[in-house]
Amino acid sequence: MKKYAPLALVAIIVAIVVMSAGCTANTNQTGNQTGTAGKVQLAGSTSVQPHAENLAKAFMANNTGVQVLVQGGGSSSGITAVGEGTADIGMSSRNITASEMAKYPDLKPVSICVDGIAFIVHPSNSVSSLTTSQARDIFTGNITNWAQVGGKNAPINVVNREAGSGTRDGVVSLLLNGGNLTTGGVTQSSTGAVRSFVAGDPNSIGYISSAEVTSIVKAVSIDGVAPTFDNVANRSYKIQRDFLLITKGSPTGLAKSFLDYVLGSGGQALLKADGEVPISEAK
Amino acid sequence: MRESDVLSPEEQLSPKKPVSLNLSILTGARVRNIKERFIELFLLICAISSVLIIFLIIYFIFSQGLPFLAEVGPSFLTGSIWRPTDGFAAGTWGIFPIIIGSLLVTLGAIGIGTPLGVACAVFLAELAPPYMRRILTPSINALAGVPSVVYGFFGLIVIVPWIRDQFGGFGASVLACWIILAIMILPTVISISQDSIRAVPREYKEGSLALGATHWQTIRSVLLPAASSGIVASVILGMGRAIGETMAVLMVAGNTVRIPVSVTSPVSTLTAQIALEMAYASGAHREALFAMGIVLFVIIMILTGAANLALRRRI
């Protein structure tokens, strides 16, 4: 039997590890509110998702016993999920379309913040401002050289997001009016990847959420309006969209508590810290 | 020999017959006791499970993707516009540029990696002094252990800007893929080729040298042809790795769905395109990605099958 001792030891260790993995640590220290327990399921836009996750974490810290689960899938799938009842709250980075309204007539959207889409170029690029039609032509592939928009004689390297990205959908609907993005650009899979690529290529142009612009890239003005916090808040920067949380009918119960938190001072401050324009400060 | 294997005098006089389930039908071995039977059964299950897993994967991918392929038809393979979800022509499925991208990237990687790898293998097997072999062999093995995302990161930070500065364009390009993939297949090619060269019987080499050939003439005309089946096998393995490589290619290829016009053009491969779009794909888009998986699978089967066929004919 001695030779089975190591094997038995390994089996016991594995069993302990597997069992302890099933135990989750309860890190909630104090619970000020509630006495309620339950689950709120959010689903939808990947652009809203990181903010929703931060809000969920803060909400759960204040309300022990409540679980707020956030998943992505895109604005369309989020609207479908809340319409079908598989999610309590749908997240969307675009407005509900007429056909979706017809299918699920009792959807109630609530704006939680305003997000601008900034077009970024390399800091050394002499172009700092574009008109809407110039931007549209660049991203549809009709303008291919920086000299055509006032820059130096160099080809324009377009950097796209992947199909399914909320930011990409925003550009297609708001700038291109549903048109075709050029197929000649490279595709990167995240905001960070787009930003790094543009920071490294002097001839590139890409698009990211205005909240994510850092000093390694330069955001261009569209029609003379820069994508600053104030310009997005007062709606003068046109390439922007409201982030919506959608419920089926008026919100009740835990979903209502969560929505109240998001629209209250705590949630709005969190969104502002993330760089978005909270709806309380928008026009 | 363990104590339990030695029969006592009583057992030798009247041997017990093994009871019921006799695996010797399947294994051809004489089974003595329950312990051995269980071990053989366990090994059999392991072997069958690997076959089962590969068939399950094939079945799953084909069941998800074949209906889509049947619906869209040959324009899936020959069309050049890939527009899954947005734009005026949303729902256009054409992956011809992506197929070309995969093949181009693989062939280039083999084209660069094979000469380098075989040359390194020859050096290590025939020409290197022992101290150099002691330094080089662990380094090459370390190359094999580097995760592909680290290769991709290295490519993104070092190779892509270098290509952009030297040749212009995006930087993320066919050339970047070739360089990174060639480096990734080097350890495979080197170690297997080296083993094949070492496995050539000494008499071949000694006979060649005795007949007056120089060392290089011996290597070129005797050792390499004799080791050729192993070298080709290593190239096939390298090719399998190159065509299936996802993460590194995703980061340095540019993922542009257009047939590349030069080595500095960005390119899209089947693996990278699937990885890029899989996360948020739903409905028809998701089925299209499974169909791409089928195409990739078929291409890999064809390439490795053809290579194995060529290998068998040489012997």
Q: List, for residues A90-120, the tens digit of each pLDDT value.
A: 998 888 888 889 989 999 999 999 999 999 9
Lowest-confidence region among A45-54, A202-211, B105-114, B197-206: A45-54
Worst-scoring range by mean pLDDT, A1-10, A62-71, A268-277? Answer: A1-10
Q: So what's the pLDDT on residue B25?
A: 55
CA distances from B44 to B23, B39, B41, B184, B297 (A): 10, 9, 5, 34, 27
CB contact under 8 A, B170 and A157: yes
A140-154, B31-45, B121-135, B158-172, range with the lowest pLDDT: B31-45
Q: What angle do CA A25, A26, A30 make, to 5 degrees?
A: 155
Residue with structure tokens 């080296």? B194
Q: Is A116 within 8 Å of A210 (Cβ atoms)? A: yes
- Crossing angle of helices A253-263/A49-62, nearest 10°? 110
Q: What is the pLDDT of residue B298?
A: 94
Q: Of the ranges A44-58, B16-30, B141-155, which one carries the lowest mean pLDDT score?
A: B16-30
Q: What is the mean pLDDT of residues B178-204?
A: 95
- Helices (runs of H) and strands (runs of E) counted in chain A: 10, 12
> Considering CB atoms only, which of B81, B276, B280 is closest to A73?
B280
* Residue B105: per-residue pLDDT: 96
Q: Which range is most confident: A27-41, A233-247, B77-91?
A: A233-247
Name every chain B residue with its beta carbon within 8 A of the beta carbon of A164: 85, 277, 279-281, 285
A179 with B256: Cβ contact below 8 A: no
- Predicted pLDDT of residue B10: 64
Subunit contact A180:B172, Cβ cutoff 8 A: no
If one counts every other C-beta atom within 10 angstroms of the C-beta of residue A109, the result is: 18
Spell out the domain ranges in chain B.
18-72, 82-312
Taking contacts as CB-CB distances below 8 angstroms, the residues of chain A near B92 are none
Percent of chain A with pLDDT strictly greater than 90: 51
- The average confidence (pLDDT) of chain B is 88
Confidence (pLDDT) at A96: 87
pTM of the model: 0.79
All residues of chain A having their beta carbon less than 8 Å from the beta carbon of residue B171 are 200-201
Tell me what percent of the residues of chain A surpass a pLDDT of 70: 93
- Interchain CB distance below 8 Å, B87 and A179: yes
pLDDT confidence bin for B113, thresholds 50/70/90: very high
**Which of B81, B171, B280 has its CB closest to that of A72?**
B280
The pLDDT of residue A29 is above 50: no
Q: What is the per-residue pLDDT for B192? A: 94
Assess A206–B contact: CB distance below 8 Å, yes or no: no
Kindly state the average pLDDT of the residues B143-165: 93
- Of chain B, the percentage scoring pLDDT greater than 90 comes to 72
Q: Across residues A77-94, what is the average pLDDT?
A: 90
Strands (E), chain A: 38-44, 66-73, 89-92, 107-121, 129-130, 157-161, 186-188, 204-209, 218-219, 221-222, 240-248, 277-278
Res. B282 pLDDT band, cuts 50 70 90: confident
Give me the interface pTM, i.e. the ipTM: 0.75
Q: Do B171 and A74 touch (CB under 8 A)?
A: no
CA distance A32 to chain B (A): 37
Q: Note the pLDDT of residue A9.
A: 78
Cα distance between residue A41 and residue A33, in whole Å = 20
Q: What percent of chain B has pLDDT over 70?
A: 89
A201:B266 CB<8 A: no
Q: B197 with B224: CB under 8 angstroms?
A: yes
- Mutation choice for B interface testing from A124, A167, A189 by most B CBs within 10 A: A189
User: In 3D, which of A176, A177, A139 has the Cα closest to residue A160?
Assistant: A139
pLDDT digits (tens, 9 = 90+) for A134-183: 999 999 999 999 999 999 999 999 999 988 778 888 899 899 988 889 98
What is the structure's pLDDT at A18?
Answer: 77
A204: which chain B residues are within 8 Å (Cβ-Cβ)?
170
What pLDDT, on a 0 to 100 scale, did the predictor assign at position A74? 78
- Work out the pLDDT band at A262, boundaries 50, 70, 90: very high
Rounded to the nearest integer, the mean pLDDT of chain A is: 87
pLDDT value, residue A158: 95
Residue of A nearest to B261 (CA): A184
Q: Confidence class of residue B154 from pLDDT cuts 50, 70 and 90?
A: very high
Q: Is the pLDDT of residue B17 over 70?
A: no
A177 touches B at CB < 8 Å: no
Residues of B in contact with A77 (CB under 8 A): 282
User: What average pLDDT does the segment B265-284 reach?
Assistant: 89
How far apart are the CA of A279 and the nearest CA of chain B, in angstroms? 27
Which among B86, B161, B254 has the least Cβ separation from residue A186? B254
Q: Is B285 on the interface with A (CB under 8 A)?
A: yes
- Of the candidates B54, B164, B285, the residue with the CA atom closest to the CA atom of residue A164: B285
- Is residue B271 over pLDDT 60? yes
B270 vs B24, more confident = B270
Q: Where are the beta strands (DSSP E) in A89-239?
A: 89-92, 107-121, 129-130, 157-161, 186-188, 204-209, 218-219, 221-222
Q: Do A163 and B257 touch (CB under 8 A)?
A: no
Across the A/B interface, how many CB contacts are shorter than 8 Å? 81
Q: Which pLDDT score is estimated for A33? A: 43
C-alpha to C-alpha distance for B17 and A270, rounded to whole angstroms: 78
Q: Which of A77, A168, A197 is opposite residue B282, by nearest beta carbon?
A: A77
**Which of A117, A133, A44 minimizes the C-alpha distance to A87?**
A44
**pLDDT score recorded for residue A27:** 45
Close Cβ partners of A242 (under 8 Å, ≥ 6 residues apart) = A95, A111, A112, A113, A114, A115, A279
pLDDT score for A47: 82
How far is residue B257's CA from residue A183's CA, in Å, rounded to a whole number? 6
A164/B285 Cβ within 8 A: yes
Q: Where are the alpha helices (DSSP H) in chain B?
A: 9-13, 24-27, 34-72, 75-78, 96-122, 130-145, 148-154, 160-167, 174-199, 202-210, 215-218, 224-226, 228-244, 247-252, 270-277, 284-314
Asked if the C-beta of A183 comes within 8 angstroms of chain B's C-beta atoms, the answer is yes
Lowest mean pLDDT, pick from A18-22, B215-219, B245-249? A18-22
- Structural tokens at position A191: 């905001």
Nearest-by-CA chain B residue for A185: B256
Candidates B38, B85, B163, B262: best to mutate against A (most CBs of A within 10 A) is B85
Q: What CATH topology corresponds to B82-312? A: MetI-like fold (1.10.3720)
pLDDT value, residue B215: 94
Is A201 within 8 Å of B170 when comparing Cβ atoms? yes
Question: Could B171 and A181 be called an inter-chain contact, meaning their C-beta atoms sit closer than 8 Å?
Answer: no
Which residues in chain A are contacts of B250 at CB distance < 8 A?
189
* DSSP string across B253-285: SB---S--SSTTS-B--HHHHHHHHSTT--THH
Q: In this predicted structure, what is the pLDDT of residue A26?
A: 47
Checking if the pLDDT of B253 tops 60, the result is: yes
